[in-house]
Amino acid sequence: MVSTGIYDLHGEVVMCTYQECSNTSKGSTRYCKNHDSPSKGCMVEGCTNVAHGGTPLCIFHSSRMHKRRGCAVSGCTKGACSSSQGRTDRCVKHGGGKRCKYDGCGKGAQGNTDFCIAHGGGRRCEFQGCEKSAQGRTDSCIKHGGGRRCMVLGCNMSAAYGTDFCSMHRTSLLSGYNSAHEMLPAPAPERRAKEAEPSK
């Protein structure tokens, strides 16, 4: 199976180094999202789940050991929502936690708000007049500089979802360019700053 994962600056696919995993690595680690801990897996005999958060147990068995409840849906290995999320016997994916209070919406409420992102919940961009969601651990939306940025030196464009490069530099890498020097130049910082300014 051919992988269409993240490429490094030399044009090589960065693959997960866990046993015979064929997934691409996540961010700056050598592991995919399923194996982001270098531990080999849950230590409970017969369990094939991946160990979680640097512990020797998967989420399911960790929740049992620490008297935290797992999701009540059969086969789900995620933990049930905690009291800060509106305690239930299910994970968010299976309907647990606080739900959006907008009529007819069943999505999970975001953060300390009573609504999902689409209906105004969660953190908002700090840029005056912007109603978009703040991205990642930043206080701004993507347009105003929030979220992950491209790893190519001098480029401050937003990294495409699940990669370390903006769409232009990722396309350049996929097209066979072997170094950042051969890539298309990123847009000038002055142009990006002008685009981010509020319209008068």
Q: How far apart are CA 34 and CA 54, in angstroms?
A: 12
Residue 6 lies in a domain: no
Q: How far is CA 16 from CA 7, 149, 160, in A?
A: 12, 22, 19
Residue 136 lies in a domain: no
What is the tally of structural domains in the chain?
A: 1
Q: How far apart are CA 123 and CA 180, in angstroms?
A: 35
Quick check: 48 and 58 in contact, CB under 8 A?
Answer: no
Flag whether the pTM goes above 0.75: no
Residue 92 lies in a domain: yes
Residue 20 lies in a domain: no
Q: Give the pLDDT mean for 62-88.
A: 69
Residue 39 lies in a domain: no
Locate all alpha helices (DSSP H) within the chain, ordered by sequence. Answer: 59-65, 167-174, 189-196
The pLDDT value recorded for residue 103 is 92
Pair of tokens at residue 92 = 């968010």
The pLDDT value recorded for residue 3 is 43
Domain range holding 78? Answer: 69-115
pLDDT-based confidence at residue 184 (cuts at 50, 70, 90): very low
Q: How far apart are CA 93 and CA 59, in angstroms?
A: 15
Residue 83 lies in a domain: yes
Residue 86 lies in a domain: yes
The pLDDT value recorded for residue 54 is 64
Q: How far apart are CA 177 and CA 43, in angstroms?
A: 43
Residue 80 lies in a domain: yes
